[in-house]
Amino acid sequence: MNQDFWNTKNGTISYFPDGSLNIAYEVLDKHLNAPNRNKTALIFEPENGDTVLYTFLDLIKLSNKIANILTNLGVVKGDRVFLFLPRIPELYASFLGIVKTGAIAGTMFSAFGESALKDRFENSEAKIVLTTKELSARIEQVKNRLPKLEHILVVDEENFKQQLEQASEQFSIVHMNSEDYAFMLYTSGTTGKPKGIVHAHGGIIQQKESAKLVLDLKDDDVYWCTADPGWVTGIVYSILANWSLGITTIVYGGRFDAQIWYQILAKNKVSVWYTAPTAIRMLMAKGDDLVKQHDLSHVRFLASVGEPLNPEAIIWAQKVFGKPFHDTWWQTETGSIMIANSPTLEIKPGSMGKPLPWMNANVFNQEGSQAQVDEEGDLVLHPPWPSIMRTVWNNQEKYDSYFKNGWYITGDRAKKDKDGYFWFVGRADDVIKTSGERVGPFEVETALIDFPGVVEAGVIGKPDSLRGEIIKAFVVIKPEVKPSEELKEQLKEHVKKYLAGHAYPREIEFIDKLPKTRSGKIMRRILRAKEMGQDIGDTSTLEEY
């Protein structure tokens, strides 16, 4: 790592006099007696109803109240406290309230179903969860199997509101070291249950610097990052980096709707907008006229993350907004943007851009040495860096598996061109990216097998012009079960309820047998090739096909 460089940036972070820190202080409380005290921090646009504004002072008070409630319930440094909330102001204030107590804040996307919740609570041994009346029903289904979960706090219940009312607005933030854990979130790989990726307080230095450099955030910006804090972008770039820079930030509580999105951009005079390719393609599909109905003249900088940004989207943005989207690449594990089209870099549409100045990225060939110019290989990064994950919760083996010969292996395939631009090629593993959301095939397969009558299932990502990929399932059912459209619908509903609303297979095909290795592993590569009408490649390890 470029330690000397980061040492020069230490002055940008508000450390306590004893040299410790807490990201909640850096993000909120340092503004208490400073010029941003009464500046709008959060503009909340609910799905229905009126806009609500929170100043930095409002968020400081609200997060202090939450920190007090948690501390009174016995939360101490290192405990896990989770959020299972929709995008409401309480989510944002609670995240920082948890961090103030020294506990590790965990987020769970509001579309998660019973089994996804159970896996996450079980693995993290979370003590407390904050949720809403509506979402708490799903936790109720599994809570008997979660002995470590002591309290379910329902933020829209009268009882909790009263507690908030009575709680003190003062809280003494727990001092942490740079390496102490601050937050965690679960993400999927090819196999096994989701992994708890844990980030440390010290990551803030890079999160902040990357937002300044790549998103070009300036004091008077109105900034909208459309990501949900159930995913890492929503934590790092709509809670941490933005507020540590004192930036007014929009949160929209509702679902995607082109008309509403343009209204939010126009009404709030949004100047910096960070979103995702699927949303951009959905906007494109609604046509140019809709854009023209809104005054988007304040939009100054556009950026995108999460999945490949196709050149058409960049060209379209140039046409309708008069400026391009800047693609950025990173992962839950990296903790901040690693490769990007920074404002000063000339964009090559279709490229992810270049590594940030403090990152050393490379492409390795099969032999583990540097690939040729334009040669496809494994995308690797040189560790450590301040925002890299510190551990995989309770899974040292998994953590270790990310590192090889002193490099961090991203799991992505990429190319580097003669000018040093990086081009995304695909995943090296079976991880699916649908609408920018990372889904593990194993979890979907497990959900399908849970349905009566299903023998086994193989799940792949199938290229889709709107969503990047959609989830496709090949399902083997018992001989006595009849394949039908109705059964497909039932399976979809089951996965939504069991696993998550966003992780269900949009396409299902019943087949007699799954291609497997001799050791019995499903060969998703073969399913993918078959789906794409491609040569199925080397099948020598196949049991039978």
The pairing of strands 391-392 and 437-439 is: unpaired
233 binds ligand WT7 (CB under 6 A): yes
Kindly state whether residue 332 participates in binding ligand WT7, applying the rule CB under 6 A.
yes
Residue with tokens 């995607």: 256
CA distance 340 to 356: 7
| Cis before 384 (ω within 30) | yes
Chain-centroid distance, C-alpha 90: 19
CB of 119 to ligand WT7, least distance (A): 17
Joined tokens for residue 483: 């394949």
* Nearer to ligand WT7 (CB atom), residue 61 or residue 326: 326
The region of 16-24, 47-55, 152-160, 231-239 touching ligand WT7 under the rule CB under 6 A is 231-239
Q: How far apart are CA 426 and CA 465, in angstroms?
A: 15
Residues 6+ apart with CB under 8 A from 332: 185, 187, 197, 231, 232, 389, 438
Beta-bridged to residue 106, according to DSSP, are 82, 184
Stretch that binds ligand WT7, among 65-73, 302-310, 506-514, 524-532 (CB under 6 A): 302-310
Could you tell me how many residues of this chain bind ligand WT7 (CB under 6 A)? 22
Region binding ligand WT7 by CB under 6 A among candidate stretches 322-330, 342-350, 482-490, 521-529: 322-330
Report the residue number whose CB is nearest to ligand WT7: 332
Closer residue to ligand WT7 in complex, CB, 93/235: 235
Tokens of 210: 């990357």
Residue closer to ligand WT7, measured from CB, 30 or 462: 462
User: Which residue, 201 or 438, is less far from ligand WT7 as judged by CB?
Assistant: 438
Cα 365 to Cα 133: distance, rounded to the nearest angstrom: 51
Residue 21, phi-psi category: left (phi > 0), alpha (psi -120 to 50), beta (remainder): beta
The 415-454 contact track toward ligand WT7, x by CB under 6 A, reads: ---------x--x-----x----x----------------
CB of 360 to ligand WT7, least distance (A): 18
Is residue 180 a contact point for ligand WT7 (CB under 6 A)?
Answer: no
Give the CA angle between residues 384, 391, 501 to the nearest 5°. Answer: 115
Three-class SS state of 372: coil
Nearest CB to ligand WT7, comparing residues 113 and 335:
335
Report the C-alpha dihedral over residues 28, 215, 249, 20, rounded to 10 degrees.
Answer: -10
Among 139, 211, 303, 352, binds ligand WT7 (CB under 6 A): 352
Q: Residue 327 or 430: which CB sits closer to ligand WT7?
A: 327
Question: What is the signed CA dihedral for 348, 349, 352, 353, rounded to 10 degrees?
Answer: 20
460, β-bridge pairs: 472
DSSP assignment of 156-190 = TSHHHHHHHHHS-S---PPPB-TTSEEEEEEE--S
Among 90, 307, 443, 445, binds ligand WT7 (CB under 6 A): 307
Please state the three-class secondary structure of 263-314 as a single string.
HHHHHCCCCEEEECHHHHHHHHHCCHHHHHCCCCCCCCEEEEECCCCCHHHH
Least Cβ distance, residue 329 to ligand WT7 (angstroms): 4
User: 384-413 mask for ligand WT7 (x: CB under 6 A)?
Assistant: --------------------------xxx-
Stretch that binds ligand WT7, among 21-29, 227-235, 367-375, 401-409 (CB under 6 A): 227-235
189 binds ligand WT7 (CB under 6 A): no
Closest CB to ligand WT7 among residues 181, 274: 274
Among 54, 329, 399, 442, binds ligand WT7 (CB under 6 A): 329
CB of 340 to ligand WT7, least distance (A): 8
**136 forms part of the interface with ligand WT7 (CB under 6 A):** no
The residue range among 86-94, 106-114, 226-234, 509-517 that interacts with ligand WT7, by the rule CB under 6 A, is: 226-234
Does 210 bind ligand WT7 (CB under 6 A)? Our answer is: no
Using CB under 6 A as the binding rule, whether residue 377 contacts ligand WT7 is answered as no
> Using CA atoms, how far apart are residues 441 and 433, in angstroms rounded to an integer?
10
Residues near ligand WT7 (CB under 6 A): 187, 231-233, 305-308, 327-332, 352, 410-412, 424, 427, 433, 438
